[in-house]
Amino acid sequence: MIDGGFAVTTPLWDSEPLARALGVPVYLKMEALQPCGSFKIRGLGAVCAARVAAGARRLLCSSGGNAGLAVAYAGRRLGVPVTVVVPRSTTAWARERIAAEGAAVVEHGAAWAEAHAYALENMSEGTAYVHPFDDPEIWEGHAPMIDEAAVQLASYTGEPPGAVVVAVGGGGLLCGVLLGMQRVGWGAVPVLAVETTGAASLAAAIAADALVSLAKIDTLATTLGAARVAAEALAWTRRRSVQAWQVSDGAAVVACERFLDDHRVLVEPACGAGLSAIYDAAAPLRGRSSVLVIVCGGAGVSLALLRAWVQATRGA
């Protein structure tokens, strides 16, 4: 696969505030500092570059926000037009960011699955469809964040982390992280896969030992809103230690607030879900030698939106 060259090497931060909350060292892989504000540019940028090199004249994506922004950014850099189909749940802020990259934004459906189906039905000649998470090339593109983290962590501890925390929507980040962990020899390191309770498709799949399509997505963390997790994400849970963990929307939003105070970085509730497992000292993480958190970031957030989410989850 062609490396799009759009992603940057992100820093690894030793977080004293989160370490204090959990009681063990906590290291943050700061994917929120990617050019598009999230990890998505890694795999999706590489896929976009490969599709254009293979002859695609247009790019099409369906997205709750972050994937669409990554494809729009890559398309602008590659000089090809982009259309992003978003569901009604995508925030106006995220739509504006996508459109600002020059992409056409089309709304269809209440949730991502409907936007995805609509995009596939409206393919045209010369157009490459870029799936937001379920593609081996995307996972391969995400994996280098763990190659980077392994080198960076060595300067702090010289040891693998005691656990890795990953937020899960469709499972693209999870698959990429697990692929990277296998590559660097972290196969025995457990992973805590965090979802909000209204979008817990991985937890449902693990419980059923089969892919499950949720009847409804009900969460503020709209970029976690995949009703059905990628098959490869479930397959990984059968091969190694991956524990599903659920948090409330309220906990995710509080984590966003606290992270903004602690590290001066604004992230969306999808990322806050993973951070809340640290702030609330989730039982599977207590007593670990250290914890590595993928701070996945997010395009669909502004200070005004965060304030609105705080009011909504506190009943104000």
2 in any annotated domain: no
In a shared domain, residues 157 and 212: yes
Q: For the sheet with 104-107, list strands across it.
A: 104-107, 82-86, 58-62, 127-130
Asked if 94 and 118 sit in the same domain, the reply is yes
Is residue 3 in a domain? no
Residues 180 and 231 occupy one common structural domain: yes
Structure tokens at 102: 């020059």
The reply to whether 116 falls in a domain is yes
d(CA 16, CA 37): 23
Residues 70 and 181 occupy one common structural domain: no
Q: How is residue 173 annotated by DSSP?
A: H
Long-range contacts of 117-124 (CB under 8 A, 24+ apart): 118/62, 118/85, 119/60, 119/61, 119/62, 119/83, 119/85, 122/60, 122/85, 123/60, 124/58
Q: Is 153 exposed, middle or buried (0-12, 13-18, 19+ CB in 10 A)?
A: buried
Place of tokens 């090199």: 53
Element (H, E) at 59: strand 58-62
Among candidate residues 90, 118, 133, the one where a domain is terminated:
133
- Find the distance separating the first CA and the last CA of the chain, reported in whole Å: 49
What is the reported pLDDT for 223?
58
Residue 164 half-sphere exposure, CB side, CA atoms within 13 Å?
30
Contact 61, 132 (CB under 8 A): yes
Same domain, 247 and 294: yes
Per-residue pLDDT of the chain (316 residues), as tens digits, is 456 689 999 999 999 999 999 999 999 999 999 999 999 999 999 999 999 999 999 999 998 889 999 999 999 999 999 999 999 888 888 899 999 999 999 999 988 889 999 999 988 899 999 999 999 999 999 999 999 999 999 999 989 999 999 999 889 999 999 999 999 999 999 999 999 998 899 999 999 999 998 888 777 766 556 788 999 999 999 999 999 999 999 999 999 999 999 999 999 999 999 999 999 999 999 999 999 999 999 878 889 989 999 988 886 4
Phi (first) and psi of residue 182, to 5 degrees: -60, -40
CATH number at residue 26: 3.40.50.1100
Please tell me whether residues 105 and 210 are part of one structural domain. Answer: no
57 with 126, same domain: the answer is yes
d(CA 272, CA 166): 11
Domain shared by 104 and 207, yes or no? no
Same domain for 298 and 204: yes
Asked if residue 6 belongs to a domain, the reply is no
Pair 235, 282 in one domain: yes
Q: Is 27 helix (H, G, I), strand (E, B) or coil?
A: strand
* Integer Cα distance of 199 and 292 in angstroms: 23
Instruction: Give which of 282, 214, 220 is closest to 246, Cα–Cα.
Output: 282
The answer as to whether 191 is a domain residue is: yes
The model's pTM is 0.93
**d(C-alpha 151, C-alpha 190), whole Å:** 19
Q: Same domain, yes or no, for 128 and 266?
A: no
Based on the structure, what is the number of domains in the chain?
A: 2
- Locus of tokens 């080198």: 151
Last residue of a domain, one of 88, 104, 133: 133
Is position 144 within any domain?
Answer: yes
**Domain stops at, among 91, 109, 133:** 133
Q: Which of 2, 22, 18 is nearest to 284 (CA)?
A: 22
Q: What is the pLDDT of residue 280?
A: 98
Q: Is 1 domain-assigned? A: no
Residue ranges making up the domain that contains 71: 40-133
